[in-house]
Amino acid sequence: MVNKLIKEDTRMFLTGNEVLAYAANSAEAEFMYGYPITPQNEIMHTWCKLLPKTGAGFLQTEDEISAGFSTIGGILAGKRAFTATAGPGNVIMQDAQSMAEMMRIPFVCAVMQRGGPSTATVIYAQQETRLTCFGGNGEGFRIVYSTAGHQDLYDYMIKAFNTAWKYRFPTYVLADGYQGKMREPVTLYDPASRGITMVPTQKFLLGEGEIGKDRKSVHMRNTYNMEEELMEVLEGYKADYDKISEEIQEWEEYKADDAEILVIAHGIVARSARTAIDELREKGIKAGLFRPITIRPLAVKPLREAVSRAKRVLFTESANGQLAQMVLEKLYGLSTPYETLFKMGVGVTGDDIVNKVEAMTAAAI
């Protein structure tokens, strides 16, 4: 067991990366594996700075391939382990992430998106949305929470550990360089004070007792000889994933009930959309927001209902429609027209959204 540092509600003024390190500690994480890449380095810096007090562990590996597989190794050894990465690091960690998917490892990873492709910028983007949801050679049996600020980072990092350990699908906190580097007030708390019980860490291998007598043998596989054998396993995973999807899906609506123009955005762009919607409402334009919090799996039913109520939809992202692509597939059959405001690797401001929605309104008159 590690020492938890946050025992009562504590208001702090932190960067998002610092918040994530505290959240992992509050979620009783025991070990972090990682390799430095901007803009997420301070997660491991903070984690390490806290080690003398927490008694947790850290290993800086030689690269993200190793960080990913070491995280799996740590979990198989019975530790509540996690990692964090960004950009090209997220790309080369996909092999390990696919293995976690195949072996149903409760792999927790914070992704702080930066601009792409390749090295690109170290600052900000929403261009790892598709990669985080569907990267690797598999079907994307993953759970991805997209956060919109520091309170979210704390809340959902804690939740990510519970989701991963309960359902045993790789679970992600998908944020970005702005959230990692920016500083804003946040309230840290002991999960128990919010009625949150942490799912206990479980030893998958090296359990107590004698195999065959006290317990069954454990055989965790990522290799299959027969095509049919693989499909049978994956059909089981798919059934599990579909079954839990409604249970874990989360979304937020803001003034969406009577919205004529529905903005669909995730993460920090959704936060800019809220600023824009307040301004548009003051001008008499009925705008509203639908923000998927789990972008994998998506909350399909509420999404379809909100889109059906609106006259028009605006997709906005700091990417070229990576979320829109996933959402549009789920909106098949609906005829609500849509427009887009995509800024690849650049922050979307409230003004950007106000101007776009005003142009859409003017065109409709």
Instruction: Kindly state whether residue 271 participates in binding another protein, applying the rule CB under 8 A.
Output: yes
Distance CA(25)–CA(47), nearest Å, equals: 8
From the CB of 341, what's the least distance to another protein, in Å? 13
Question: What is the total count of residues that contact another protein (CB under 8 A)?
Answer: 26
Strands 81-85 and 108-113 turn out to be: parallel
- Which among 99, 341, 119, 138 has a CA at the least distance from the CA of 223? 99
Q: In terms of CB distance, is 159 or 274 closer to another protein? A: 274
Backbone φ and ψ for 364, nearest 5 degrees, come out as -80, -20
* Contact pick of 59, 201, 349, 358 for another protein (by CB under 8 A): 349
Instruction: Kindly state whether residue 38 participates in binding another protein, applying the rule CB under 8 A.
Output: yes
Distance CA(71)–CA(57), nearest Å, equals: 12
Backbone φ and ψ for 82, nearest 5 degrees, come out as -150, 175
Listed ranges 80-88, 126-134, 195-203, 348-356: which one lies at the site for another protein (CB under 8 A): 348-356
* Contact pick of 7, 53, 183, 283 for another protein (by CB under 8 A): 183
* Contact pick of 181, 291, 296, 312 for another protein (by CB under 8 A): 181
Listed ranges 22-30, 134-142, 195-203, 266-274: which one lies at the site for another protein (CB under 8 A): 266-274
- Which among 179, 190, 185 has a CA at the least distance from the CA of 155? 190
Backbone dihedral region of 267: left (phi > 0), alpha (psi from -120 to 50 degrees) or beta? left
Listed ranges 126-134, 207-215, 301-309, 345-353: which one lies at the site for another protein (CB under 8 A): 345-353
Q: In terms of CB distance, is 253 or 278 closer to another protein? A: 278
Which residues, in sequence order, are CB contacts of 65 under 8 Å at separation 6+? 92, 93, 95, 96
Tokens at residue 45, please?
């810096």
* Contact pick of 122, 196, 233, 328 for another protein (by CB under 8 A): 122
Instruction: Kindly state whether residue 283 participates in binding another protein, applying the rule CB under 8 A.
Output: no
Residue ranges in 5-86 assigned as alpha helix (H): 16-26, 41-54, 64-76
Listed ranges 52-60, 83-91, 182-190, 217-225: which one lies at the site for another protein (CB under 8 A): 182-190
- Which among 293, 298, 344 has a CA at the least distance from the CA of 322? 344
* Contact pick of 65, 91, 182, 328 for another protein (by CB under 8 A): 182
Binding site for another protein (CB under 8 A): 13, 38, 119, 121-123, 149, 178-179, 181-185, 268, 271-272, 274-276, 278, 347, 349-352
